[in-house]
Amino acid sequence: MGKLVFLSGAGLSAPSGLSTFRDNDGLWEQYDLDIVCNYQTWIKNFNLVHEFYNKRRLELRKVTPNKMHEKIAEISKRFEVINFTQNVDDLLERAGCENVIHLHGKLLELHCTNCNDITKLNLNDDLEFKFENCKKCQSKLIKPSVVFFGEQAPFYTDLYSTFYNLNEDDLVVIIGTSGAVININYLLRFAKSKNILINLEKNKYINEALFSHIIYKSCDECIDELEQIIQEWNS
Ligand SMILES: [Zn+2]
């Protein structure tokens, strides 16, 4: 029995109502991405950066996990699963997933860039950063634990080594990602695994030839299809 590897992106949380910077909706339209997601300039734009992430955190209260979050959680209880996501929301965890690897960080965490102390925020508590100094070292430089453009993503090493070491009996599910940020073709270039692609629509970044199954649908509308593929793989 092989392992099951998920790699998800914004398309997983979209049916829950969480928008991304590609959707150009309200919140993302009000802020310049070059300012609020920029590792080179975030200290200069400190107040604006935190204002943006405070608002994004409040959006988490308005959304709930969708059927695919729940399906991934259910699958995780039946198989050996490695669960990579590019999403910074907590919807996989709320659906019941444990050990999710957040490649681009977590919206519900802040960290001190001086002493690395981490503050975990809770949905039910106050979700806003109050511009207080670090409790441990008194540094002012508290940063949202979201990976900014130009910042190193610490878990990419795990991602690359997992994909490099895939075997013939492993199953990979790529779900709701355009492949524009993480190069899916590169990740799968040597993979001997069976690979599934679930995306809303075809896009120019992902090479369809790398996949044995391709489903172009909203990810909350193909739960049964995914289950069937998993059962075939498991039989
Ligand atoms: Zn500190």
pLDDT at 29: 77
* pLDDT per position as a tens digit, 126-185: 899 999 999 999 999 999 999 999 999 999 999 999 999 999 999 999 999 988 889 999
Is the pLDDT assigned to residue 224 strictly greater than 90?
A: yes
Is the pLDDT assigned to residue 23 strictly greater than 80?
A: no
pLDDT at 32: 87
* pLDDT per position as a tens digit, 56-110: 999 999 999 999 999 999 999 999 999 999 999 999 999 999 999 999 999 999 9
Q: How far is the CA of 134 from the centre of ligand 1 (A)?
A: 5
* pLDDT per position as a tens digit, 39-59: 999 999 999 999 999 999 999
pLDDT at 183: 95
Class of domain 1-16+65-104+152-235: alpha beta
pLDDT band at 206 (very low <50, low <70, confident <90, very high): very high
Q: How far is the CA of 145 from the centre of ligand 1 (A)?
A: 14
Is the pLDDT assigned to residue 24 strictly greater than 80?
A: no
Supply the residues annotated as catalytic.
Answer: 104
Least-confidence region, from 28-37, 79-88, 95-104, 213-222: 28-37
Q: Do domains 1-16+65-104+152-235 and 19-62+107-146 have the same CATH topology?
A: no
Q: How far is the CA of 144 from the centre of ligand 1 (A)?
A: 13
Mean pLDDT of the chain: 94
Q: Which residue has the higher pLDDT, 217 or 18?
A: 217
Q: How far is the CA of 106 from the centre of ligand 1 (A)?
A: 18
Q: How far is the CA of 183 from the centre of ligand 1 (A)?
A: 34
Is the pLDDT assigned to residue 27 strictly greater than 80?
A: no
Give the span between the Cα atoms of 22 and 179, in whole angstroms: 13
Domain ranges in the chain are 1-16+65-104+152-235, 19-62+107-146
For domain 19-62+107-146, which architecture applies?
2-Layer Sandwich (3.30)
